[in-house]
Structure 1
């Protein structure tokens, strides 16, 4: 079967090439904004890709700085914009919006793989071609199907240049032909995501990590954030950002990008280990965006414990629960496994040994002691929740909890009970 994957590599540009790439990135962002203004201004019956394509061609003729973006990259911006509307119509994403100069990430598409001219120079370095920029050198960290190794089924189909806090990167779109995976014969597992215990597994083990930044990096980040706050306080409204403040923003962004890279690296290693070991992986179907909403409230009804809720929101966002599930889904599928999402309510309140929900069983945030008559099961609260998730994944438990009167719900016994 065909498998589409992305491979990211660090680019090393000369100052002239970096200037050209920045120009194309700003042109691509401006192209998006122009298409968005043109699209939303026209009546619905006159919106079509043909008219948009003609408008792009005319704009590139009349605006020389817009023509800095290659023609194929301009067409890719239009296709991406239309794809964003399709995702919105199908209720998978919000409507596309204006891209701010400082809040949006610069990106340049190279849609055709044959234009890349990828060559491996030695064990550590590779070279590629970017239109109107030239030959670019990148770190060779994974074998790519190029040269004699490339064919109709194994090839690089395109790439995208993206600028992040630590510089420019290239993301190759790689197509491989892989055999159909055999059915995974490993055991099943439930995974509970949390803050104190990032991942708790139903076999009683945990997957933990330390801080993403060292103590010195954390102090430096705090110092830079205080510095930027002072500079913003002294800046008049509407005044242009000074070079010193822009430099401080860049330093903060680089430290946060370092933390994100370490987090993604840990997630990749951890999810790979779980997907290799277990055949069926149960996870909670969480609405993470709703969980990290602010508790500030309104003027009429102000919220409570706003600072505490903000700290919890930052902790949840730092764990990137959604990215963990995404990694598990495609890695499990590659190995013949499956990820099952189960309803989240009461997974932490139900006893995984007897199946009852009894008020007061969750003694503390970290400890679960069943208060049901004749049970007395005691376990780490996250481990108990992960075992309930595993049971629900195997038996399609609805996960509905106690009623409005607070009475215990009818017992729902596990299909493969764990030893209490």
Structure 2
């Protein structure tokens, strides 16, 4: 039987001390500032965008020369660069409805920090209500266990955790686990293939002449 990989997100609320909240707040501000520094470095040039190698070199230099940049773990800094470059790729892709990357405002940006590598997390279930996870530069943190995570517990779903993203909302910090599961691949449709054209007067026009959602005069 053929299998396919299915990506899912599992969200859980973190139980942080005041000191740990301060650390994550500092990391999130550093991540936003790094994005803005990258945007300035990439766009304020003569005739071309900076390459990935040039950006990586600039980040390493900034981490050596700017004290507060060290608040952000190295892997999280690389995740900012990856996300920023992907934003440009989406902008230049004619099939992708993405806007031009810009500066991030402190008041309008949601604080967030990436943990790209799952091996840094060391996830474990403590009891029925709580799990624990390692966060870089923060330490061991409890989180509210609301759903079994793939590959973590013996009786949990098959699959694995590939990384996580820490996001702050009005209620505090939460962790979004990136999970990957193997599911049966969907079977090919036995019928004939048909093309679909989307429009305004007719919502869907099929290549076999069928119309769907036609607006009456």
TM-score by length of structure 2 reads: 0.84
Tell me, in whole angstroms, the C-alpha distance in 2 between the residues paired with 1:395 and 1:158: 46
Residue ranges of structure 1 left out of the alignment (5+ in a row): 185-339, 348-388, 403-407, 409-420
Structure 1 partner of 2:105: 100
Higher helix share: 1
Please say if 1:110 is aligned against 2:152. no
2:86 alignment partner, SS class: helix
2:211 alignment partner, SS class: coil
Please, what is the CA RMSD of the aligned residues? 2.8
Alpha-carbon distance change, 123 to 342 in structure 1, aligned in 2, over 3 angstroms? farther
Residue ranges of structure 2 left out of the alignment (5+ in a row): 190-195
Equivalent in 342, 345, 349 of residue 201 of structure 2 = 345
Q: CA deviation at 1:181?
A: 4.0
Tell me, in whole angstroms, the C-alpha distance in 1 between the residues paired with 2:198 and 2:52: 40
Higher strand share: 2
2:105 alignment partner, SS class: coil
Q: CA deviation at 1:154?
A: 1.7
Alpha-carbon distance change, 143 to 44 in structure 1, aligned in 2, over 3 angstroms? farther
Please say if 1:135 is aligned against 2:140. yes
For 1:136-151, list aligned pairs within 5 A: 136-147=141-152, 149=154
Check the 8 A contact 2:152/2:160 in 1, yes or no.
no
1:98 alignment partner, SS class: coil
Greater RCO, 1 or 2 (C-alpha within 8 Å, sep 6+) = 2
TM-score by length of structure 1 reads: 0.45
Tell me, in whole angstroms, the C-alpha distance in 2 between the residues paired with 1:341 and 1:6: 32
Alpha-carbon distance change, 146 to 104 in structure 1, aligned in 2, over 3 angstroms? same
Please say if 1:82 is aligned against 2:96. no
* Number of corresponding residues: 204
1:130-169 Cα shifts (integer Å, max 9, x gaps) = 100111111111111234659xx82100000011111111
Structure with higher Rg: it is 1
Tell me, in whole angstroms, the C-alpha distance in 2 between the residues paired with 1:101 and 1:170: 21
Q: CA deviation at 1:45?
A: 4.0
1:66 alignment partner, SS class: helix
Alpha-carbon distance change, 140 to 148 in structure 1, aligned in 2, over 3 angstroms? closer
Check the 8 A contact 2:43/2:49 in 1, yes or no.
no
Alpha-carbon distance change, 141 to 55 in structure 1, aligned in 2, over 3 angstroms? same
